[in-house]
Amino acid sequence: MLANPCCLHFQPCYSHTSEFSHFGTSKISLSSYFPRFHGSTKSKFSSLSLLRSKKSGKRLVTKALSESSVPDSVAASDGAPGSLRPFSVKIPVGDRHILVETGHIGRQASSAVTVTDGETIVYTTVCLADTPSEPSDFFPLSVNYQERFSAAGRTSGGFFKREGRARDHEVLICRLIDRPIRPTMLKGFYHETQILSWVLSYDGLHTPDCLAITAAGIAVALSEVPNSKAVAGVRIGLVGDKFIVNPTTKEMEDSELDLVLAGTDSAILMIEGYCNFLSEEMLLQAVEIGQNAVTAICKEVDSLVRERGKPKMLDAIRLPPPQLYKHVEEIAGNELEKVLQIRNKIPRRKALSSLEEKVITILTEEGYVSLDTTSGGLEPVPDLVEDEDEDDVVVDGEVDEGDVHIKPTTRKPIPTLFSEVDVKLVFKEVTSKFLRRRIVEGGRRSDGRTPVEIRPINSKCGLLPRAHGSTLFTRGETQSLAVVTLGDRQMAQRVDNLVDVDELKRFYLQYSFPPSCVGEAGRIGAPSRREIGHGMLAERALEPSLPSEDDFPYTIRVESTITESNGSSSMASVCGGSLALQDAGVPIKCPIAGIAMGLVLDTKEFGGDGTPLILSDITGSEDASGDMDFKLAGNEMGITAFQMDIKVGGITIPIMREALLQAKDGRKHILAEMLNSYPPPSKRLSPYAPLIHVMKVQPEKINLIIGTGGKRVKSIIEETGVEAIDTRDDGIVKITAKDLTSLEKSKAIISNLTMVPTIGDIYRNCEIKTIATYGVFVEIAPGREGLCHISELSSDWLAKAEDAFKVGDKIDVKLIEVNEKGQLRLSRRALLPDADQDSNSKENTNNPSRNKTAMQKGTDKGTSKKAGKENIEQTNVQKGGTAPMGGSLEDAAKLQKKFIRKGVTATKERPISKEQTESTSS
């Protein structure tokens, strides 16, 4: 461990005191910090003063550093004297503590922290560029998260053993870190900021994703990046009826809820997760518990920041001139009101773009002239002109011929010019302001809807004839083409993560957002982070409605291609995907619908009563100009997936409750519209979908199907023409085929391979596969052979099996023995007529009226009464009876072999030579 894990309070690891140490109860205020880097303007703070508390009774001590005499890097280090000294603190989270350490590693970064939970360690750094980039309408923040395989004591399963491009689940965690931190960044700060996070150790119990959110929030708070508040994140699980804060992976196996929540000490910034049809009230309880846990963490982080935080770069903030907002409103206000009433997205976007170009031209090239200036309110300016009219009457006295009269004229206004970047930023904010005002004051949105109204919905199923299932779902100007493909286990998506090397996903949804869906031309390549995030949200929303693998043994892939987009395309993917699953014949538990909710928080600014205004089924402009994007998916009874992003300081529980209830009504409306789909979903398996048969065999028989090196299973696939045969160690066998004929053929072969033979079974027309000196090997079923000993081939004596049989001959055999290794012993002689006579002798022995005749026949053949008794006992063994005289089956088998040898010589009928006669009599 990098620091003492038992310390419960802030403890410096060094015993000596710095000359900049704090005394008494003194605190460092962010307003007293000076920035490390400077932009075009010089900081108004020339030094950093650390003051002792007046209550301590000690004299005031001031330590100043001049910027002109000390380099910036040195000033930053000395300005925060303890920033390089190791510190550690334990913060309570749920029923345990997390350990936060700083100053140990990564000391050249703006801030670096390690956060430990159990034996899971996440290391996070924050760095920023020395010079600011060009102003833009977004904060220049980038987040990267990586899980090192060495953290779990293994390497990558791929060819390249070095970690490369971020995997999908790492991208999702990057989004979890970015979304709550971005709203806390102050506007006007354009230094590129980078958050890097690595998982250095993973114990398999404590998940690193929520730990990475908290580590990033602490690192940003300790750094020089100006932000409003500290951010922390937790996970909430529901096991039984109990909510658990940061549950372990074992606890999550039985959880009905997976909620990741991030926020500050006073508000919620982000939630995301999925559940099994959880009610709105239960979700609100989970959010409230998570918010309380986040508040407790943030308060501890604030104490750490006061003790260890670096000066914030407040003077690097560059905001547009305040008067520019008024100028833009004067130029474009009237036209903006008209443009925002255009209902269709493309015409409205083009009109806004044209209006923006007009405003930029006026304010950056022609120069702005205030309306107050042109109204005649300026002072007149004297104009020097020569008076040439000699007939003018001069009241005040005579004027000489050379005098000049002064006539007052109006002063010409001086135009004001602004930078293009500032004009664009201000125009965007003014547009957002006018849009919000129209919604609050007029009660109507850009497309004419009320706040709770849903856009028109239309859906068509079976659009693609060769696809297994397809649906075109349209809601307003948002459209999704959802396609379902069914396959076997080989089509499953392989996930390579820290612990489960061979984790397979039998259901996955892939979302794509081409630039054509918004009428633009752009680059096509690997999926973006937004596409990965939206696809995972839709996948989690649909997964609880799917049948179990035992009921539907298919791997399911859903593709959602957004063909039109004007808000809520991920929720359109949920609706379209649910209909496409039904069209593919997947027996889902219930249909699923999704809706996106918006928010206008401060309504007093636009003449409202101050109550937050919640919008149902928001469009793209309402998402960009609003304060919230809250996506919810589920059925009429409960929620399956959710995701919320906040663009302001956060929202409270009452606002979220109102949004959840309004979203429930919206989902009911959408589900009712989905039932009116025309054509409706077929709800049966497509003829082009593969056929899958699942059969259960004994686990020890699996090797018989696979064969040495997989040769047996490959030969079955080639012989029958099936697509795949998948076997599992528990005895489950899945056969995938395109047609029923090949499926039945492979099923019969596997059934014969794995059958359990019973002594006494008769197999007809079996082929001889191999001939040996001691007998022949007969294939009683495809891939299943048994030995027919040379003594069991014929009633006559055979010197060699080749004398009577050859490879490929067809014979009938009877199973007479199965040894402990599972090897089969067959007999052809048992099915010959002579064998039937032996069987009749058994029947006569059992019948008292025929005992005398049977024994007489035995005497005629030269056998004694004892031999006849052995014959009867052996017949019982062959019929599967018990061993004679209470003996074991092994004794019976030995007796069987003895009887076979005797029976062959006794029943032989052939001419006897003279030499043989003499030898016999001697």
- Asked if residues 262 and 220 have their Cβ atoms less than 8 Å apart, the reply is no
What is the residue type of 693?
Answer: H
What are residue 124's DSSP bridge partners? 113, 197
Are residues 491 and 525 part of one domain?
A: yes
Q: How far apart are CA 492 and CA 555, in angstroms?
A: 6
748/775 same-domain check: no
Range of the domain at 740: 691-754
Residue 76, in any domain of the structure: no
Residues 212 and 332 both lie in one domain:
no
Number of domains in the chain: 5
Q: How many CB atoms lie within 10 A of CB 452?
A: 13
Highest mean pLDDT among 122-126, 160-164, 690-694: 122-126
pLDDT in tens, 557-575: 999 999 999 988 999 999 9
Question: What DSSP character marks residue 399?
Answer: -
pLDDT in tens, 379-413: 554 554 444 444 444 444 454 555 555 666 556 66
Q: Over the range 300-321, which residues count as b (16 or more CB within 10 Å of their CB) and which as e?
A: bbbebbebbbbbbbbbbbbebe
Same domain, 270 and 361: no
Cβ burial, residue 13 (10 Å; 0-12/13-18/19+): middle
Going by pLDDT thresholds of 50, 70 and 90, the confidence category of residue 10 is very low
HSE-CB for 628 with a 13 A CA cutoff: 30
**Residue 347's CATH number:** 1.10.10.400
What is the radius of gyration, based on Cα positions, of the chain?
Answer: 43
* Pair (726, 800) in one structural domain: no
pLDDT band for 697, please (50, 70, 90 cuts).
confident
Residue 350, domain member (yes or no): yes
Two structure tokens written together for 314: 């407040």
**748 sits in which H/E element:** helix 740-753
The predicted structure's pLDDT at residue 794: 87
> Rounded to the nearest 5°, which phi and psi values hold at 44?
-80, -10
916 is a domain residue: no
Q: What is the CATH number of the domain that holds 748?
A: 3.30.1370.10
Residue 452 lies in a domain: no
Residue 734 bridge partners (DSSP): 694, 726
Read off the tokens for 116: 């430990």
Give CA angle at 211 (205, 216), nearest 5°.
Answer: 160
What percent of the chain has a predicted confidence (pLDDT) above 90? Answer: 41
Identify the domain boundary among 800, 831, 862: 831
Q: What is the pLDDT of residue 399?
A: 47
Q: Which of 797, 831, 865 is the last residue of a domain?
A: 831
Residue 378 in domain: no
Let me know whether 570 and 709 are in one domain.
Answer: no
Same domain, 708 and 787: no
Mean pLDDT of 441-446: 83
d(CA 182, CA 406): 62
The yes-or-no verdict on residue 172 having pLDDT over 50 is: yes
Report the half-sphere exposure of 493 (CA within 13 A, side-chain side). 14
Please name the residue that has the structure tokens 């100007």. Answer: 477
| Mean pLDDT of all residues belonging to the chain | 78
Average pLDDT over residues 527-537: 93
Amino acid identity of residue 639, one-letter, is I
| 475 and 600 co-located in one domain | yes
b (16+ CB within 10 A) / e for 849-882: eeeeebbeebeeeebeeebbebbbbbbebbeeee
The pLDDT tens digits of the residues spanning 741-798 come to 899 988 888 888 887 788 888 888 899 999 988 899 998 877 678 999 988 888 888 8
Q: Examine the pLDDT at 13 and tell me if it is beyond 50.
A: no
| pTM listed for this prediction | 0.73
Tokens of 616: 């149902």
Q: Are 287 and 349 found together in one domain?
A: no
Give a yes or no: residue 26 inside a domain: no
Query: Is-contact 838 805, C-beta < 8 A?
Result: no
Domain for residue 390, yes or no? Answer: no
**Which strand (E) or helix (H) includes residue 812?**
strand 810-818
CA distance 614 to 194: 34
Tallying the residues shown for the chain, one arrives at: 922
Q: Which pLDDT does position 84 carry in this prediction?
A: 64
Same domain (yes/no): 205, 277:
yes
Share of the chain above pLDDT 70, in %: 75
Residue 213: give its domain's CATH number: 3.30.230.70
The CA distance from 392 to 386, in Å, is 13
Q: Is 50 exceeded by the pLDDT of residue 261?
A: yes
Q: For 623-662, what is each residue's pLDDT tens digit?
A: 888 889 999 999 998 999 999 998 877 788 899 999 999 9
Residue 541 has pLDDT above 60, yes or no: yes
CB atoms within 10 A of CB 524: 8
Q: Is the pLDDT of residue 922 over 60?
A: no
Q: How confident is the model at residue 201 (pLDDT cuts 50, 70, 90)?
A: very high
- pLDDT confidence of 893, banded at 50, 70, 90? very low
Residues 352 and 218 in one domain: no
CA pair distance 435, 337, nearest whole angstrom: 8
Would residue 851 count as lying in a domain?
A: no
Which of 676, 708, 727 terminates a domain? The answer is 676
Whether 225 and 362 share a structural domain: no
